[in-house]
Structure 1
Amino acid sequence: MSQFNISLLAKQGWRIINNQNSLVMRVLKAKYFPNDQFLNSRLGNSSTNISIHDDSWVPDAINFRLSSEVNSMRDSKVNALIDNIERKWRIELIKNTFAEEDAVRILRIPLACVPHDDFLVWGGEA
């Protein structure tokens, strides 16, 4: 499957290079390489695309919400809550940012021992 995925990515790359005005090219350029060319672009591995106010990353989230006094974190990403040097949650930040029951749920989520690229996982039913 990985070779098939690479071939599909190469095909998409070819389309991006040859169709500079296509909608997909404009969207990808704006998001991933606004100041460079496609062939020079790189994706980092330190950020996730999920905003912290999106409950899809918190198991069993029922009434997921930020604490009412916290507005500065509203548009932040999940990786802002992780100390990537020590590979642990930023406990005080989480406790000060989220309602108590949500903070408890977040702190139960195990973190990988080493940083890695984000990847999609199936979150639906089989």
Structure 2
Amino acid sequence: MGGMGFRDFQLFNLALLGKQAWRLVTETGNLWEHIMRAKYYPDGEFMTAQLGANPSYTWRGLMEARAVLETGMRRRIGDGKSTRVWRDAWLPGTNTGRVISPCVNGNENLRVCELLSEQVGWNLERVSSLFLPFKTERILSIRVSQHRPMDIWY
């Protein structure tokens, strides 16, 4: 019927905010990211930041967009040092990307690097002792680079 073809301005706005939120996650080091980090998440990262006591309108929008990003974001495993086993979405071939196996006491903060062997690949003994068999298969199917770059979001 004419017009610009926008169906839902709220969803369109959320998509644009999502793009800016993605920049905060992936493009660290630029001026805008430094300013937002200094004000809203000085000791952490954007994906774990809190809304805070007196957030700006922009920050509220970015936090709403973060919820959209979380549904599709995954971690690509490199060295495994920045990916938490039970909290981060890193497992391919699942809807949530998260490990659903029960967490053994004392392993809540386990990092993926602790599941890797010193040689190239996974520590089969450690992985099979912590996870259910079908999750173990899924984890062992992830290829690990011998160069061990940093983990990244995709």
Same fold (TM over 0.5): yes
Q: Distance in 2 between matches of 1:115 and 1:49?
A: 12
1:75 aligned onto 2:95? no
Q: Distance in 2 between matches of 1:55 and 1:25?
A: 20
| Amino acid aligned to 2:41 | V
Letter in 1 for 2:149: H
Q: TM-score, normalised by structure 2?
A: 0.47
Out of 144, 151, 154, the residue aligned to residue 111 of structure 1 is 144
Match for 1:9 among 29, 37, 41?
Answer: 29
The alignment's TM-score, normalised by the length of structure 1, stands at 0.56
- Per-residue CA deviations over 1:41-76 (Å, capped at 9, x if unaligned) read xxxx844433212473222237943356x2232321
Q: 1:92 to 1:13 in 2, by over 3 A?
A: same
Percent identity, please.
16
Q: Are the counterparts in 1 of residues 83 and 151 from structure 2 also a CA contact under 8 Å?
A: no
Aligned to 1:89: 122
Matched, 1:65 2:85: no
Where structure 2 has 5 or more consecutive residues not aligned to the other structure, the ranges are 1-26, 49-77
CA separation of 1:53 and 1:114: change in aligned 2, threshold 3 A: same
Deviations 1:70-90 (A, max 9, x none): 22323211111112x302101
SS in 1 for 2:126: helix
RMSD (CA atoms): 3.5
Length, aligned pairs only? 95
